[in-house]
Structure 1
Amino acid sequence: MTGTTPSRFNVVHWHGLCSSRARQDKPSHMELLRRDQARVNYIQRRVANANSLLNPVGGSLFARVPVSIILGGASGYIINIGLGTPTKSFSVMFDTGSDLTWTQCVPCVNCYPQKNPFYDPTQSSTFTDILCNSSFCTKLDKFGCSSTSTCLYEEEYTDHSSTNGSLIQDTLTFSSDTIQNFRFGCGHNNTGDFGQADGLLGLGRGAISIISQTAQFYNKVFSYCLPSGSNEIGYLELGTSVPGVKYTPMLTNPNIPSLYFLKLIAISIAGTRLSFSPTETMLDSGASFSYLPPTIYSALRSIFRKEMTNYPMASPLFNLDTCYDLTGHSEVDAPEIVLIYDGEVTAYLDGSGILYIHSLSQACLTFAKTNEEVKVAIIGNMHQRRFNIVYDVANSRIGFGSNGCN
């Protein structure tokens, strides 16, 4: 690896003014909610069932990059990375809920539209194949062998989007750093809605994730701030923590060990603290909304509705059951909500993340309930906005700090 100068990656909203995708079609609100629910259902099944794993198919440096939102303010965030020699730029969603990094790739059997040209390994002098009997290949959830004994992969996501192709290695340019022999998916057959992103950056803890692959350079530490609006910019940084954050223990669920868990111990709403037995909680940058066990959700909803009696209620929006008609209101006085994690680590939710504005006549509380059987909470990206969030994997802790995108 070369390059030791600290550098910053911007994170921007896919449909924001900073993005060339601003004028492209956005997914419908119902599509977004259905995808979110599918993702949460999948996580709940994995938490509950250890046998749901997939089967085979045959000195510290740091770098910072900008981050942007995808899918109209709720859902995904993107950064720009470079692949190959000479370097070609790609815009990829990043996801703490998955490990594999991949991009759409030549030859393309089935690809969705994207802005940048597809990655073409034949145009890179540093590209090499990976054999299917290598440890890099066999650690994949689904892998197989091509007719020339090179590694094939398949990845299906919770909303049934999928990618499959060849696992390869090439040079990754991450901000000003150059990482040799980075292993990623060369996706020849990709289906589903990735918002015209060129691929995905996997920030999980598994062996194939960028966090594990760059451990010797970045010490398994990364942080980000997700912007709250489509015209704002956040960041993703590898290799350094952020001053002024307070840490809570990072937990591991043995059924899904690559994902990030902590404990939610209370929620404060409108100054009232709702305490409950510590609840296993997953931080998921790929989910939009947050999902709470039914008893916790009911208590939160009850107080929220009491605080919002000045506004007429509206019909539910899919799984968001607490909605309001804000027609004629230029401002809304929504109650303050604070998530409190183990160790009294507090996260004051950004006001833009408390109500999801489907329309002026239907604005909904951005929490929903999980099913009865699984006592796990999921905190989506709308409730991570504007915090510095530090994932210190090496020391098994997660930190939260305010004013992160400033």
Structure 2
Amino acid sequence: MEYAQVMISLQISLLLIISQSHILPLTTSKIPSTSLLHPPNKLHFHHNITLTVSLRVGTPPQNITMVLDTGSELSYLNCNLTQPTTLNNQTQPPFDPTQSTTYTTIPCTSPTCTNRTSDLSIPASCDPTRQVCHATLSYADMSSAEGDLASDTFHVGNLDISDTVFGCMVTESSSNPVEDAKTTGLLGMNRGSLSFISQMDLRKFSYCISSGLDEPGVLLLGDDQNVTEWLGLGYDVTLNYTPLVRISDPLPYYNRVAYTVQFKGIKVGDKILDLPESLLQPDHTGAGQTMVDSGTQFSILLGPAYTALRSEYYDQTKHILGDLGEPDYTFAGVMDLCYRVPCNQTVLPDLPTVTLLFEGADMQVSGTDRLVYRVPGETRDNDAVYCFTFGNSDLLGVEAYIIGHHHQQNVWMEFDLEKSRMGLAPLNCDLAVQKLGLVY
């Protein structure tokens, strides 16, 4: 679920299977047997602004690159054969369903079309001419995609996941077509019945996002191991868990298949903001839920919470960073607390930490790279423009809190669907990648 402008990068990944008591590097060619019903599989992804993983789809397999998106349900691939995409200055063809012997469209009469698409923002419809299920996806950044609901075999490492349902899209409109064209599609990872995680029947997955703009991260599909045990990092890594909130009754502004947590407050430095409890939980319409979304870059707060955070952060930083001095300037449509920093200043001063408080767990946003973002191409005389990495939902028109992946950097993020909880732990993701043997 993409709420801000994005850029794309990628790298292919390998498979790792871990037994219940051992860890092996990804470069190992022999894979031990395991008693796990669904053995853990590790993919590593790269990000500069959007997270991507590389898979293979079809028979014979075609290499594809997909955005990792915990905010979306239905995965989709670009199937427009007249529009090849470009990545790393090389032509990347779209997925060609005509070259796959295992590809099939979903008929209108299939329960997958009539029942399982009910949680999509736009339920599937029927193409009466071909009697094929038609899928339409739309996102808050005004991008959209249309095409057939179809199925094919997805290859993840040495696992062949047959009959995986996805959207084979032939029409796309994008808010950022140049960057969006650098991937083959999107990997939906939320709790909906058609998400990739649900179709794999996985009860747990985790990821760790490195802080460098072109550094690999790691995605773990499955696993029941303690993070410290299998990473072997030599220091304590204790996951703190917050419950995943789920309601059964449909509400107009509530996403029932999102990874929703209970927001408890915000702290700037040592000061807890004075926010009413009613502002931090959904109202009777469902507006105000807090979603964890790897498909959104920066974090978005409801207007009153953002205003309080902006005011406090400005007060604590106005003597550290120079004010941009342009009240009407907004970056990416949602961020309006911006600063001027001399272009030749390579190291920014220490900035106050922002701590997001959840039920049972906290997420600390520290370090200048996570707290302020240099706006590409924007300068004022000899100064660069930096903006605070939290945005205002009122400027976006979204009635929700969204925890974006920029603030998930160097945090081990575990999504435990079996116990309906999310685990967080500060972790040097670069070190984790090295320990796991993930390489370009």
For residues 212-227 of structure 1, the aligned pairs below 5 Å read 212-215=198-201, 218-219=202-203, 221-227=204-210
Q: Distance in 2 between matches of 1:129 and 1:374?
A: 33
For residues 29-44 of structure 1, the aligned pairs below 5 Å read none
Task: Identify the residue that residue 5 of structure 1 maps to in structure 2.
Answer: none
1:311 and 2:321 aligned: yes
1:93 and 2:109 aligned: no
Give the AA of the match of 1:132: C
Q: Distance in 2 between matches of 1:158 and 1:121?
A: 28
Q: Distance in 2 between matches of 1:294 and 1:300?
A: 10
Task: Identify the residue that residue 45 of structure 1 maps to in structure 2.
Answer: none
Task: Identify the residue that residue 33 of structure 1 maps to in structure 2.
Answer: none
For residues 132-171 of structure 1, the aligned pairs below 5 Å read 132-138=108-114, 139-140=116-117, 141-171=123-153
Change (3 A) 1:170 1:389: same
Question: How far did residue 182 of structure 1 move?
Answer: 0.9
CA contact (8 A) 1:104 1:111 kept: no
CA contact (8 A) 1:111 1:189 kept: no
Gap regions ≥5 residues in structure 2: 1-6, 13-36, 118-122, 228-237, 282-288, 432-440
CA contact (8 A) 1:281 1:376 kept: yes
CA contact (8 A) 2:74 2:195 kept: yes
Q: Which moved more, 1:365-374 or 1:253-262?
A: 365-374
Deviations 1:72-112 (A, max 9, x none): x33x211001101121110111211111111112555x676
The secondary structure found in structure 1 opposite 2:198 is: helix
Task: Identify the residue that residue 256 of structure 1 maps to in structure 2.
Answer: 255
Change (3 A) 1:146 1:93: farther
Give the AA of the match of 2:110: S
Q: Distance in 1 between matches of 2:207 and 2:107?
A: 34
Task: Identify the residue that residue 437 of structure 2 maps to in structure 1.
Answer: none
Change (3 A) 1:321 1:331: same
Change (3 A) 1:307 1:162: same
Change (3 A) 1:122 1:357: same
Question: How far did residue 371 of structure 1 move?
Answer: 3.0
Q: Distance in 1 between matches of 2:346 and 2:97?
A: 52
Change (3 A) 1:111 1:245: same
CA contact (8 A) 2:85 2:184 kept: no
Q: How many residue pairs were aligned? A: 345
CA contact (8 A) 1:228 1:350 kept: no
CA contact (8 A) 1:392 1:398 kept: yes
TM-score, structure 2 normalization: 0.72
1:126 and 2:72 aligned: no
Task: Identify the residue that residue 206 of structure 1 maps to in structure 2.
Answer: 192
Percent identity, aligned pairs only, is 29
Task: Identify the residue that residue 363 of structure 2 maps to in structure 1.
Answer: 347
Question: How far did residue 374 of structure 1 move?
Answer: 7.8
Question: How far did residue 364 of structure 1 move?
Answer: 1.1
1:80 and 2:54 aligned: yes
Task: Identify the residue that residue 9 of structure 1 maps to in structure 2.
Answer: none
Give the AA of the match of 1:136: T
Task: Identify the residue that residue 373 of structure 2 maps to in structure 1.
Answer: 356
Give the AA of the match of 1:251: V
The secondary structure found in structure 1 opposite 2:45 is: strand
CA contact (8 A) 1:15 1:230 kept: no
Gap regions ≥5 residues in structure 1: 1-12, 20-58
Task: Identify the residue that residue 422 of structure 2 maps to in structure 1.
Answer: 398
CA contact (8 A) 1:146 1:152 kept: no
Change (3 A) 1:106 1:330: closer
Considering only aligned residues, what root-mean-square deviation do their CA atoms show, in Å?
Answer: 2.5
Change (3 A) 1:299 1:183: same
The secondary structure found in structure 2 opposite 1:228 is: coil
Q: Distance in 1 between matches of 2:214 and 2:80?
A: 33
Q: Distance in 2 between matches of 1:145 and 1:288?
A: 35
Change (3 A) 1:188 1:136: same
